[in-house]
Amino acid sequence: MSAVDGLSGAAVAEAELVTDGRPQRRPRRAGGAGSSRRRARWAGWWFALPALVMFVVFELYPILTAVQYSFYDWDGINLSTPVGLDNYVRVFTEPQLLSSIVHAFILIIFFSFVPVLLALVVASIVREIRSAVAGGLARTLLFLPQIIPGAAAAIAWTWMYAPDGAVNQGLRAVGLDALARPWLGDFTWALPAVGIIGTWLATGLCTLLLMSGIGKIDASLYEAAQLDGANRVQQFRNVTLPGLRQEIGVCVTITIIAALASFDVVFMSTQGGPGYSTQVPGVQVYQLAFTENRIGQSSAVAVVLSIIVLAVILPLQRLFRER
């Protein structure tokens, strides 16, 4: 046996790398770079796996289950009966169910449009405040409603809306006794009264988002507008509004979703009453499922609400997308 034959496999490999006393580069295995890229790609999926599992378990599976239930008449205990699209037909034909959707769109005015308009004005005013202390105090006061849960805010406002609450006492103090009323018990004013609670909750968040957006606008644009003779209204229209396009889109998106899917504020303040004057889809889903045991109908309302939210939000996302 030759000396080379007696070498171990590792020694032979090392010997093959030496030619004329100079070490040679070991040839790279075919497909090595591709394997590294594949490993890196799968590593990313492993990092995303926990979030993906949570999404499937707590988001996707309940949605699919609700869609399945919506085609059945089921009380949650006994055997279910297939009803096809009957539950969806009732959503748009029963006055009680249809009115809840109409009320949700009315609340968009109070939960979204009014807070965004107020936030634009307040953010522009705060921008003019030169004092750091006053500006910080204003931000703190504006953000306070955001740290209060919606249910707690609804309870507090229920006390203020009471016949002898702070709202009516304030009206009587300024001689407007004729306007005092049990606001949450009035068929005409109950829904606007609930909407004002949503306005109070949403204005602070929208203001802080818009103030953050104003801080990113180049100050030289305002200086150039002043040199051109633009007053504050013209600066607001031609500099501030275009610069806040994305921030306004975020505010509108968040608040419209809150209006359409509102539950805690309405449930804790009126539970949909008096009558059905403040009924909204979120409260309707809860009452149908847990009070009337109409699981299939409740699921149909929830599915319709989800579709409405997507139908409203997706066009808005394209509208506010930066060109």
pLDDT in tens, 274-321: 999 999 999 999 999 999 999 999 999 999 999 999 999 999 988 887
The pLDDT value recorded for residue 124 is 85
142: tokens are 């504006």
The pLDDT value recorded for residue 134 is 63
Domains observed in the chain:
91-320 (1.10.3720.10)
Confidence check: pLDDT of 136 > 80: no
Q: What is the CA radius of gyration of the chain?
A: 31
Is residue 95 very low, low, confident or very high in pLDDT (cuts 50, 70, 90)? very high
| Residue pLDDT, tens place only, 38-53 | 777 787 788 889 999 9
Characterize 75-100 residue by residue with b for buried, 16 or more Cβ atoms within 10 angstroms of its Cβ, and e for exposed: eeeeebeebeebbbebbeeeeebebb
Distance CA 48, CA 213 (A): 31
Q: Evaluate whether 201 touches 150 at the Cβ level (below 8 Å).
A: yes
Q: Evaluate whether 289 touches 221 at the Cβ level (below 8 Å).
A: no
Percentage of the chain exceeding pLDDT 70: 87
Contacts of 48 by beta carbon, 8 Å cutoff, 6+ apart = none
Tell me what the mean pLDDT of segment 88-103 comes to.
Answer: 94
- From the list 206, 317, 207, the residue with the least C-alpha distance to 253 is 317
For 133, half-sphere exposure in the C-beta direction (CA atoms, 13 angstrom radius) is 0
Is residue 131 very low, low, confident or very high in pLDDT (cuts 50, 70, 90)? low
Q: Which amino acid is at 241?
A: L
Distance CA 248, CA 179 (A): 35
320: tokens are 């506010």
215: tokens are 């801080």
Q: Evaluate whether 198 touches 262 at the Cβ level (below 8 Å).
A: yes
Name the helix (H) or strand (E) containing 73. strand 72-73
Of 11-15, 33-37, 164-168, which gets the smallest average pLDDT?
A: 11-15
Q: pTM (2 decimals)? A: 0.82
